A and B are shown apart, each in its own frame.
Chain A
Amino acid sequence: MSITTTFDMELPLTATPLRRAARNPLRPLDVTLDVLVKVMTSFLVLSSLTMVFGSGTLLGFGERTICVRDDSPSFDSGADHLPSLFKPGVVASQSGLSLCVNDPSFGQRALNVATQLPSFVLYFAAILMLWRLVRHAAQAGPFHPGNVRRLQVLGWWLAVGGVVAKTAEEAARTSLIDGMYRTADLDPLGWFGFQFSLVLTGLGLLAVARILRMGVEMREDLEGTV
């Protein structure tokens, strides 16, 4: 049984359709991350240029006025302090002050940068590591020892970085605030901080790396199976 096309070609009814070339399922993710890295790098370069040759700022660099929020002071409501906008029984309080300094000193500028730079380095490096991991997996296959290693490095980077970056930024922020008061009240114990979501993500990636390692070992066994 056959059908005739407009070009007078006879095709069997059960002709096998053309097979598509196998597509790498990691390719879309690889391309997306590649674009993201290029966009971020371009943004960094452009911002740096506007900061150096213009009036732009980047991660605290180049700022002529530095502002930081101090959340420790609080002011309760009362008839004297805030307008009576609230229903009876509602107590409102203002917490925190926004402290700004014009023409900051070099030390203040450095501390201001330190309140932003650690997180940026953490996230940017994490995206680069993810990009390298996906690229390697797309080329070498998912169950490759190199992927386990890269995933472990990314996991530790996020888990430890989530603590170190937050602590560093908190230390810088506290030092910056204390420098704006007449009498300093430094409390190093108050510097410790961590981003729970990052730490949890890092630990999750370490768990996935352990599971992936088992898959790599199983694949190595299968490779020797005839």
Chain B
Amino acid sequence: MSGDDHAVEVGLDALLAARGMTLTQLSELVGVSVVNLSVLKNGRARAIRFSTLTRLCEVLDCQPGDLLRVRREGR
């Protein structure tokens, strides 16, 4: 696996659906632009700041493990 490849999956769609929230609403509450949240949701982000992760978990009332998952090969 090269430096840019990763197997992290972001479960933001499921959490938003469960909380009945739109991406725009989440953007306003978290303070991150809709564009960046879209990048995160679509798996195109290369990294996430701890501060962003903290705000997301506070707003969505979740833990990092609920938001991020590492895909295992063969599963």
Contacts and interface: CB of A to CB of B under 8 A. Distances in A.
22 contacts: A221-B46, A221-B47, A224-B39, A224-B44, A224-B45, A224-B46, A224-B47, A225-B45, A225-B46, A225-B47, A225-B48, A225-B49, A226-B32, A226-B36, A226-B37, A226-B39, A226-B40, A226-B45, A226-B47, A226-B48, A226-B49, A226-B52
Interface in A192-226: 221, 224-226
Interface in B23-45: 32, 36-37, 39-40, 44-45
A224 B47 CA distance: 6
Nearest to B33: A226
Contacts of A221: 46-47
A19 B49 CA distance: 29
Q: Which 3 A-B pairs have the closest CB atoms?
A: A224-B46, A225-B47, A226-B40
A226 B50 CA distance: 10
A226 B49 CA distance: 6
Interface of B: 32, 36-37, 39-40, 44-49, 52
Given A224-B44, A226-B48, A226-B52, 19 more contacts: A221-B46, A221-B47, A224-B39, A224-B45, A224-B46, A224-B47, A225-B45, A225-B46, A225-B47, A225-B48, A225-B49, A226-B32, A226-B36, A226-B37, A226-B39, A226-B40, A226-B45, A226-B47, A226-B49
Interface residues of A, number: 4
Contacts of B32: 226
A143 to B, nearest CB: 16
A225 B39 CA distance: 9
Nearest to A225: B47
A2 to B, nearest CB: 31
Most B CB within 10 A of own CB, among A221, A225, A226: A226
A202 B36 CA distance: 40
Nearest to B52: A226
Contacts of A224: 39, 44-47
A217 B36 CA distance: 19
A225 B44 CA distance: 9
Most A CB within 10 A of own CB, among B32, B45, B46, B49: B46
